Every structure is written in structure tokens, then in C-alpha cells.
Structure 1
């Protein structure tokens, strides 16, 4: 299996190759697989979703990505403890960056990041000759910095989880609960990624 084949197969399941990075434990490549804009429509027809199995997104992701890997090692964010260093892997690639609000931002998905798993390929990691800068570098408005209605996310501040959840559980939080996190939606790259509101609402319900 090569990367092109993995990418093509992933696309048929609403997934895409988000990034590649070197495996620090071996001379090989870690491929991070994430959900794209077509994921929700495909996932909601799956037996995991239709039959209300526990942790349906994780269960579906493991079934599909294990099949895509075709015998190669796979790793999932839900595996653990100990948990695999997905954030370290992502930031070690040329596609993920730290955003002004602290969350990772992706070149294509913006702040709408949903890493579903990783496949370890045996071929050595080939670093890109040219890497694009973070999309935040060219962002003029920096709308993410002021988008949170309760200031739970902002520049140079720790994520105030209690304030976020209290707002989401209030009558005022209905917009974030049904449309998705206002900060994530404010990112211009997120808007171009066009993730369905129903998917964001699902993730918000699980978070709360």
C-alpha cells in the first residue's frame, strides 16, 4: 500500500489524509486520517450509528481504518491509557499548527479537526521540500479570538472548560449546541471546509 492508494480508499468513506509525520520510534511514516465534509452523511448510514452501539464514531472509525490499513499497524485516539501522542504527531507535520486560541488549526479543515485514527506505513517519512505557513499567519480578522460568547477561549488564556460547559447547558448556549463551537465556526478555513451542522451538534452533545 502506498499513500495515494490509502488516500483514495479513505475518500470513499468520508475520510482523508490530514497529514504525514515521522514515527519517532522507527524509520517509518505515520499517516493521520481525519473526517472530511462527506463523513457525516456516510457515517449516519452505518450500523454503528443506526444501532446505537456505544461510542459509535470511535467504533466505526476503528472498523473502517483497520480495513483501510490492510494489515498495517493502526492507532486510535480512544486507545489507552496510555494514549498515543496524536497532538505531538499532528504538530510534527506540515499541516497542523497552533492557533491563536490554543486549539490546533489544519490547512484544510481549519478548526474543524476530527482525527479518527492513524496508519503506520513502513516507508521512511519524506519531509516536504516546501511547507506552507499556518493559515493564521495570513488571517486578517482573527475572528476566533473574540468569537466565544463567554470568553472561554482566547489568546494567551487557558481553556475555561467549566465556563464553556455552563454556557452550553444554558438557554443561551443553544446556538453553539446546534451549530457547533462559535470559535471553530469563526475560522475562515473552517467555513470553507463546510462541515455539516448536524455533525458539529453531535460532537457538542457528546462533549457536554
Structure 2
């Protein structure tokens, strides 16, 4: 079944990002019927593969539609969930579900200094768009051990490229970043994306195109 779910998602540029079975006694979220889920499959992207699919959908929607990427993701993943008898959930659902913890558990990834999980192939250019919750246990492979590329990166250019030092050992200075992106000197970030993220030397073949990065930055800054 995992292969057929993956094929249904790939038609929209999305992909399965691993999964796992909840353990006995674990407080799992509910599945489609309300009973506790037994398995979860994470849905996401590598690079900008969903971008043309999303743009075609967006072109048929009212220009005033709120949170279009979340809406598109829910629509696509929800349709796949319905086909396979699963419950679809999203990272923006309230109350929030532990998507980052699920991702680390499913793929064995660790956070980069920017907080984004570092992938050994995709670098920082990947994302999780939702998950499928099943009430039956699915046969899944255990995540393999992966190299954490940040451990081998001595220069850490991702912490040296932002003009306002939004990322540091102290964490992410959200308000400082937001003020800069919205300000007169924030044009490079608004049009080409986060300078720290783009400075990472890994996974550059999967880097989002400038228009996709500008879209995400506009959503961040509410521009």
C-alpha cells in the first residue's frame, strides 16, 4: 500500500517522507473513525517539485484566498487520505501536532543551526506538508542511520550571511528578522529568500527557485 500512496502523491509533486508505527501506550492522535492511530506516513516535498502543480491550482482560485499553499496541501493530501481510508493532518492544524518530532523519528534527521532539519541529500531544501494517520499498523522499514552534514561543516556559512544576525547560538531572533525583511534593506531577502539558508553548501540542486522563496518570504512577512 505504501507504494500506491506514494504514486498518488507524486502526481502532485509530493512524496512520502517516511513513517512509523506508534508504540503501545503511546498517546497517538486519532485516526479517521476517532480511534487511536496505529501508523503515520509523513507527506512532504524535496526541492520545488510541487511548485508548478500548486501554481496551476492557485491560478484557478480567488486572488483573496488565505494561506493558499496550506489550502492546496490540505486539498491534495485530504483526497489521497480519503482514497486510502486515512485521516489527513497538517502542520498548521490546531492544536499543533509534533511534526518535527515525527520527522526526526521517521527519517532520523537532526536540526541544522537554522532549526530546519538537515537532510543528507536535500540539504535544507525540503518540507513536510502533512501526514496520513492510519488505524491499522503498516509494515514500515526502520529509519536508517544518516550522516548529519552540519557536524562536518566547520565554516557554518548559514550563521554568517544574514546582515542582522537573525540566527545565532542563542536561537532565532524572530522580531529582528521580521523587521529587516519588511524594511528598506530587506529587498534581497524578499526577492531571493533567506540569505543564511541560501548560504548552506548542501543540497543546492534542490534549492527552491527565487519565485518560490519570495512567496514563502512574503507569507512570513505578511507582505
TM-score by length of 2: 0.81
Cross-structure match for 1:100:
113
Cα distance between partner residues in 1 of 2:147 and 2:38: 24
Task: Tell which deviates more after alignment, 114-123 or 49-58.
Answer: 49-58
1:35 aligned onto 2:35: no
Partners of 2:14 and 2:50 within 8 A in 1? yes
Q: Which has the larger radius of gyration?
A: 2
1:159 aligned onto 2:158: no
Q: 1:190 to 1:164 in 2, by over 3 A?
A: farther
1:201 aligned onto 2:209: no
1:7 aligned onto 2:6: yes
Once the two structures are superposed, what CA deviation does each residue of 1:52-79 show, in whole Å capped at 9, x if it has no partner?
Answer: 3222111111110011222211111121
**What does 1:122-141 align with in structure 2 at a 5 Å threshold?**
122=136, 123-128=138-143, 130-141=144-155
Unaligned runs of 5+ residues in structure 2 are 29-35
Cα distance between partner residues in 1 of 2:10 and 2:165: 36
Cross-structure match for 1:172:
185
Partners of 1:48 and 1:57 within 8 A in 2? no
SS at match of 1:4: helix
Q: 1:48 offset after TM fit, Å?
A: 6.9
Cα distance between partner residues in 1 of 2:203 and 2:184: 25
CA RMSD of aligned residues (A): 2.2
Tell me how many residue pairs correspond in the alignment: 204
Q: 1:174 offset after TM fit, Å?
A: 0.8
- Of 159, 163, 175, the residue aligned with 1:145 is 159
Cross-structure match for 2:80:
68
Q: 1:39 offset after TM fit, Å?
A: 1.2
Partners of 2:109 and 2:146 within 8 A in 1? no
Cross-structure match for 1:54:
66
